[in-house]
Amino acid sequence: MIILGIESTCDETSVGIVDGGTRVLANVVASSSAMHEKYGGIVPEVAAREQVKVIVPTLLEALNRYTPGVRSGATWNTPGVSKKIDAIAVAYGPGLIGSLLIGVETAKALALAWNKPLIGVNHLVGHLYANWLDEKGSKSQRVKESKTPEFPAIGLVVSGGHTDLILMKSHKEFKWLGGTLDDAAGEVFDKVARVLGFPYPGGPEIERAARNVKSRISNFKFPMPMAGREDFKFSFSGLKTAVVNYVANNQGGDVSRIAFEFQETVCQFLAKKTFAAAKQYGVKSIVVGGGVSANRRLFEMFEQMATAQKICLYFPEGNLSVDNGAMIASAAYFHQNFLDIASAQANPSLYFV
Ligand code: KG4
Ligand code: ZN
């Protein structure tokens, strides 16, 4: 089954085409993130206007990459193109309403024009399914025994808007274990980056600065969030305040060292919660997704613990950590939540619970 997946929840516009939930046939991503740099964060109105501009070119580019057999210049009604696609999927929430509307209405129009079923995908579930995709030519970051994750698994979503732990018993049975009480993991990377004088998005900037530091010094540490709590809730605002106060009291301080210590603390905190959940539920795999899963230090820390505890670890390959249409097409294949084309709507506050 070949599914065309549309992603437009935030500042990326993407169309992916995936066979059988795993084989990426095309995945085109356009981003307006550079346009938000000067504001230090995403401006919803700007993001939505960009979505409008790029959605059709992105769609056509994906169709062209997927159908090289059809004379170049394939468009949505080129004979033969739609025959090769079995369903249209769309991330219909959570996200920014203006951005979401563009993807949802485009998906509905395409499903109607091509007479294909429409499948709705929770964007956060999509991030986890980036780990089911095989992207040709990309370097594997997996500690793997089996090619795709085996159940039961613990899923960790770490994105700009969310931090969630999910027990995945099967494709059909997900249980939300907990999320953040305040900022999301990516959000705190972005906010701390701003305090340190880095542009948006801050995660990659902090990772880069942290690489300048080779080892820890014993008298400099930020407090581990929620010390002593054994539940699966997250909180990052205390850590953020600690960094802000440190910068204020030390005339800025050593930016690379602050970035390094901050990153160490966030990664350790995420690992601690995730591996505690993995142990409690005796899972076979850990599956991580969302923009922050692009962080190499996070992967290294998880890899070390997964190897010690003999758990299979999955991080998205290549560029599949960031928002993309292929992960939406994959999640659609395994979940098949069919929507009525006439009444389907974007849901900005869609969640696990
Ligand atoms: O999943 P995503 O692309 O969009 C949302 O659904 O929110 O995540 C974007 C977030 C941003 O906060 C960005 O700073 C963070 O992911 N991010 C990173 C890295 N790359 C992106 N955080 C830490 N390290 C990175 N290398
Ligand atoms: Zn996302």
Q: Is the pLDDT score of 293 beyond 50?
A: yes
- The residue assigned the tokens 């070949």 is 2
pLDDT averaged over every residue in the chain:
92
What is the Å distance from ligand 2's center to 320 Cα? 10
- Cβ neighbors of 166 (< 8 A, separation 6 or more) are 128, 154, 155, 156, 157, 174, 175, 176, 177, 352
Interhelix angle 296-309/202-210, nearest 10 degrees: 70
**Ligand 1 atom with least separation from CA of 202:** 14
Q: Is the pLDDT score of 251 beyond 90?
A: no
Counting ligands in written order, the one closest to the CA of 31 is 1
Q: Is the CB of 159 under 6 A from ligand 1?
A: yes
What is the Å distance from ligand 1's center to 343 Cα? 32
Mutate to test the pocket of ligand 1, among 292, 296, 302, 315 (most ligand atoms within 8 A of CB): 292
Sheet order of strands, 23-31 included: 23-31, 12-19, 2-7, 87-93, 118-122, 338-339
Q: Is the pLDDT score of 138 beyond 50?
A: no
Q: What is the pLDDT of residue 220?
A: 86
What is the Å distance from ligand 2's center to 106 Cα? 19
What is the Å distance from ligand 1's center to 249 Cα? 28
Q: Whose CA is nearest to atom 14 of ligand 1?
A: 203
Confidence of residue 66 (pLDDT cuts 50, 70, 90): confident
Top pLDDT among 220 and 337 is at: 337
Q: Is the CB of 207 under 6 A from ligand 1?
A: yes
Share of the chain above pLDDT 90, in %: 78
Top pLDDT among 264 and 82 is at: 264
Q: Is the pLDDT score of 71 beyond 70?
A: no
Burial per residue of 190-200, b for 16 or more beta-carbon CB atoms within 10 angstroms, e otherwise: bbbbebbebeb
Which tens digit of pLDDT belongs to each residue from 76-132? 788 788 888 999 999 999 999 999 999 999 999 999 999 999 999 999 999 999 999
At residue 57, φ and ψ (nearest 5 deg) are -55, -35
Beta strand pairing status for 12-19 and 285-289?
Answer: unpaired
Q: Is the CB of 203 under 6 A from ligand 1?
A: yes
**Ligand 1 atom with least separation from CA of 9:** 6
Q: Is the CB of 292 under 6 A from ligand 1?
A: yes
CB count, 10 Å around CB of 57?
Answer: 13
**Ligand 1 atom with least separation from CA of 186:** 12
Q: Whose CA is nearest to atom 16 of ligand 1?
A: 291
Q: Is the CB of 157 under 6 A from ligand 1?
A: no
Q: What is the pLDDT of residue 304?
A: 95
Confidence of residue 145 (pLDDT cuts 50, 70, 90): low
Is the separation of the CB atoms in 107 and 118 below 8 Å?
A: yes
Confidence of residue 143 (pLDDT cuts 50, 70, 90): low
Which whole-number Å values give the CA distances from 298 to 158, 263, 272, 305, in the listed order?
11, 8, 12, 11
Q: What is the pLDDT of residue 146?
A: 66
Q: What is the pLDDT of residue 81?
A: 83
What is the Å distance from ligand 1's center to 335 Cα? 25
What is the Å distance from ligand 1's center to 321 Cα? 8
Q: Is the pLDDT score of 20 beyond 50?
A: yes
Confidence of residue 137 (pLDDT cuts 50, 70, 90): very low
Which tens digit of pLDDT belongs to each residue from 24-46? 999 999 988 778 777 878 889 98
Q: What is the pLDDT of residue 177?
A: 98
Q: Is the pLDDT score of 139 beyond 50?
A: no
Which tens digit of pLDDT belongs to each residue from 294-312? 999 999 999 999 999 999 9
Q: How would you classify residue 95: left for phi > 0, otherwise alpha for psi between -120 and 50, otherwise beta?
A: left
State the Cα–Cα distance between residues 177 and 165, nearest whole angstrom.
5
- Cβ neighbors of 169 (< 8 A, separation 6 or more) are 151, 152, 175
At residue 329, φ and ψ (nearest 5 deg) are -65, -35
CB count, 10 Å around CB of 321?
Answer: 26
Does the pTM of the predicted model rise above 0.85?
A: yes
Q: Is the pLDDT score of 215 beyond 90?
A: no
Q: What is the pLDDT of residue 140?
A: 47
Counting ligands in written order, the one closest to the CA of 262 is 1
Is the separation of the CB atoms in 152 and 282 below 8 Å?
A: yes
